[in-house]
Amino acid sequence: MFLNETQRLALPRLAGFIPYHPDGEISVWDFMTRPRSYESARHCVHSNGIQTPINTVLAYVFLRNTWRALCLLHTRKQSWANWSCFIQALVGVITACVNLSSIFPGGTSCRINLWVCSFGITVSAICVDICLLVKAYAAQNRDRRLIWVCGLLMAPQLAVIWIVWVESIMLNTEKAACIFLFPAYLPWFRFGLDVAINLLFSAVFLYAVYSQYTRLGRKCWRKLGEGGVVFLFAVVLSNLVCALITATGLFGPLSEMFFLIDWVVTSTLLVRQHESIRSAFVSSQQEITRAQVCTKRQTFKRMQ
């Protein structure tokens, strides 16, 4: 939901610069247990009855992805991409658990929940960009200019944390549970960042596909499939679609949830992409081993 300048300036501030709302400084439990009418209580239960299962599902998905990423990390600890997958999923687990704690007595406040969530979304975006950068860097024969360009495009992601923490307001509501009111430019700012860097990655990956096709012909599709390029394109598409939906507010207040949807989708896709690469590598190693065994057998028969 958008926040206008009049609303922002009218609210009290923590430490002189962080706007806050009294209803955002309490947990979901404290907000729900306030004395209220039957109709008001029904709205509270309904809204939190939606958010709580969502957070539970997020916790499960991120926990599963964390375990899968940890297995990948165990096989190759030096990989930046594997570390990025692991950190992205682990931060997701922490975020979901923090949000779930708010429904219990003594849980975290709405403001803390959304601060953690915004931090996690930013970390997720940076981790995704690092994963894509690693692949693009390899596809471009380790062109260092790509690192500098991507670094410049990734740096403004940190501004999202500042906008959410300092320019937005968090509060519990009866009909929408814990929400935050943000400046109207935030979704478009995030959309601009996502479009810029994802168009760059798309161009790099498309050029890699074209190069493979001109060199190998139709055989390139199998090679690209083993490299998980399809998953990389899906990650880019997810970023662009979710950013566009959030920026345009296509689904009304629910549009904000697409930040989290993109986080879950990209985490799952990146882990799956790395698993496909590992599977392809293991299969190729097995084929090489079989070929070596066959060669040794033939050599042994000739010697006899």
Mean pLDDT of 232-256: 81
Q: What band does 234 get if pLDDT is binned at 50, 70 and 90?
A: confident
Compute the Cα dihedral for 274, 156, 236, 222 and give only its sign. Answer: negative
Question: In whole angstroms, what is the distance from residue 140 CA to residue 146 CA?
Answer: 8
Lowest pLDDT segment from 24-28, 172-176, 270-274: 172-176
Mean pLDDT of 167-175: 82
Is pLDDT larger for residue 174 or for residue 88? 88
Question: In whole angstroms, what is the distance from residue 18 CA to residue 164 CA?
Answer: 10
Q: 20-48 pLDDT, tens per residue?
A: 788 888 888 888 888 777 777 787 777 77
Mean pLDDT of 259-286: 75
Question: In whole angstroms, what is the distance from residue 3 CA to residue 164 CA?
Answer: 11
The percentage of the chain sitting over the pLDDT mark of 90, rounded to a whole number, equals 12
The percentage of the chain sitting over the pLDDT mark of 70, rounded to a whole number, equals 80
Mean pLDDT of 205-233: 70
Q: 116-127 pLDDT, tens per residue?
A: 999 999 999 999
Q: 246-264 pLDDT, tens per residue?
A: 888 787 766 777 888 888 9
Distances in Å between the alpha carbon of 133 and those of 68, 147, 188, 198, 267?
A: 21, 7, 23, 10, 15
Mean pLDDT of 127-144: 84
Measured in whole angstroms, the distance separating CA 57 from the mean position of its chain's CA atoms is 15
- For residue 76, which phi and psi values (nearest 5 degrees)? -150, 90
Where do the domains of the chain lie, and which CATH numbers do they carry? 2-280 (1.20.1070)
The pLDDT assigned to 15 comes to 64
pTM of the model: 0.82
The pLDDT assigned to 2 comes to 56
Q: 67-123 pLDDT, tens per residue?
A: 999 988 888 888 888 899 999 999 999 999 998 888 888 888 888 998 999 999 999
